[in-house]
Structure 1
Amino acid sequence: MRNKLVIASKNRHKIEEIKDILRTFHFDILSMDEAGLTDLEVVEDRETFEENSMKKAEAVMRATGSIALADDSGLEVDILDNQPGVYSARFAGEGATDQKNNEKLLDMLQGIPADKRQGRFVSVISLAFPDGRKVSVRGECPGIIGFEPKGDHGFGYDPLFIVPAYDKTFAELGEGIKNKISHRARALAKLQDELREIVGGRDGEDRNNQ
């Protein structure tokens, strides 16, 4: 029997992205809604991505009794002292839309030249296991903040985040490329080694016989 893994998120875009990247992992992957946690709200009130990520993972693990995966991610801009950081989703206020957050970021970067608009997307992914084990990994993707939104794919700050190697925003590149090079993909790549060590021994034979 395969292990259940519940993604501690209600963000449809993020869930789809994580599921796509995790498709080769041998888990039955569920969203919070699919796991029956439609009413569970976890307040992200910690100071770091690591703390918020683990808080969410542990809350979902306790509520489901299953392995839980949580991602806390955001955008850090060097010249803004790493803002918006852990406040990325609510940069323009609680309940802010992606458009409002992007508009606020562009307003704060008015007059800042291209060579001073460096930043990075950060993703910290945590796993919480019912037996008490915990794992956290961090992935980063460096880039440049553009002067205007470009592209129709992705979500959040994707239309403003230019990947220098492609000279295109995440929103222009689309999911196929983004899911190979993104901060979340890099964090999940690190997580593969952790998962292989954790479930590859005791559970590996069961998985290979399925």
Structure 2
Amino acid sequence: MKRVIIATQNKGKAKDFETLLSPLGYKVLTLRDIAEEMDVEETGITFEENAIIKAEAVAEALQTTVIADDSGLEIDALNGEPGVYSARYAGGEKSDYANIDKVLSKLDGVLDEERTARFRCVLAVAAPGQKTITFSGSCEGHILHERRGENGFGYDPIFFVPTINKSMAELSPEEKAAISHRGNALRELKRAMPKWMGDME
């Protein structure tokens, strides 16, 4: 089985990538599996900058091809927040629960039609001696007034997808992979760069 290294410590992201790549014959490895002590500081101001920073740092350290993901939630009524700060929106330690509470509090009183939002994902593929290439994907929806569903991670319980009439957290991993920002970005990568995917062994 081919191996693909994802530059993340995030268990939720790892599960998303496993759902997307396992059917294609790839074993997904993350920093938790091969370099648990490695933690790349995300100093960029865009998803693309952060994805490139992570991918290039890990590819250089491990001397192999790596995919890095930077993604988050953009809420129109909050001028694009939390954006690149999605993981630590509530400050301090990463807490999905606290982050959701902060979003719901800031949107208190905002009408349904003004709660539009999207999940955005940028994937960066880096390898030693190669030019780093990025791919992006998004998923449009709106923010609920309360949590719905038990699946997924992050902001999934409050992100409603009108086209399927469910929150992200009400979807199975396979259903989420079919419509998610991360799934869309990975499909762009597969279409544009089959030779990269073939190199990941």
**If the length of structure 2 is used for normalisation, what is the TM-score?**
0.93
> For the Cα contact (< 8 Å) 1:4–1:67, is it kept in 2?
no
Residue 6 of structure 1 aligns to a residue whose secondary structure is: strand
Residue 168 in structure 1 maps to residue 158 in structure 2: no
Q: Which amino acid aligns with 2:10?
A: N
Residue 108 of structure 2 aligns to a residue whose secondary structure is: coil
What CA deviation, in whole Å up to 9, does each residue of 1:64-90 have, x standing for no partner? 111011000000001111000000000
Question: Identity of aligned pairs, percent?
Answer: 39
Residue 114 in structure 1 maps to residue 99 in structure 2: no
Alignment gaps of 5+ in structure 2: none
Q: Which residue matches 2:143?
A: 145
Structure 1 residue 16, shift from structure 2 partner: 1.3
Q: Which stretch shifts more, 114-123 or 11-20?
A: 11-20
Question: C-alpha distance in 2, partners of 1:163/1:181?
Answer: 9
Q: Which amino acid aligns with 1:31?
A: T
Residue 185 in structure 1 maps to residue 169 in structure 2: no
Structure 1 residue 6, shift from structure 2 partner: 1.4
Alpha-carbon RMSD across the aligned residues, in angstroms, is: 1.9
Q: How many residues align?
A: 201
Q: Which residue matches 2:65?
A: 67
Larger Rg: 1
Question: C-alpha distance in 2, partners of 1:76/1:152?
Answer: 22
Residue 138 of structure 1 aligns to a residue whose secondary structure is: strand
Residue 156 of structure 2 aligns to a residue whose secondary structure is: coil
Question: C-alpha distance in 1, partners of 2:166/2:179?
Answer: 13
Q: Which amino acid aligns with 1:23?
A: S
Q: Which residue matches 1:14?
A: 13
Q: Which residue matches 1:34?
A: 33
> For the Cα contact (< 8 Å) 2:74–2:83, is it kept in 1?
yes
Of 126, 133, 136, 1:135 maps to 133
Residue 185 of structure 1 aligns to a residue whose secondary structure is: helix
Structure 1 residue 96, shift from structure 2 partner: 3.4
Alignment gaps of 5+ in structure 1: none
Residue 32 of structure 2 aligns to a residue whose secondary structure is: coil
Question: C-alpha distance in 2, partners of 1:199/1:77?
Answer: 33
Question: C-alpha distance in 1, partners of 2:60/2:195?
Answer: 23
Structure number with higher helix proportion: 2
Q: Which 4+ residue blocks in structure 1 deviate beyond 4 angstroms?
A: 24-28, 197-200
Q: Which amino acid aligns with 1:136?
A: T
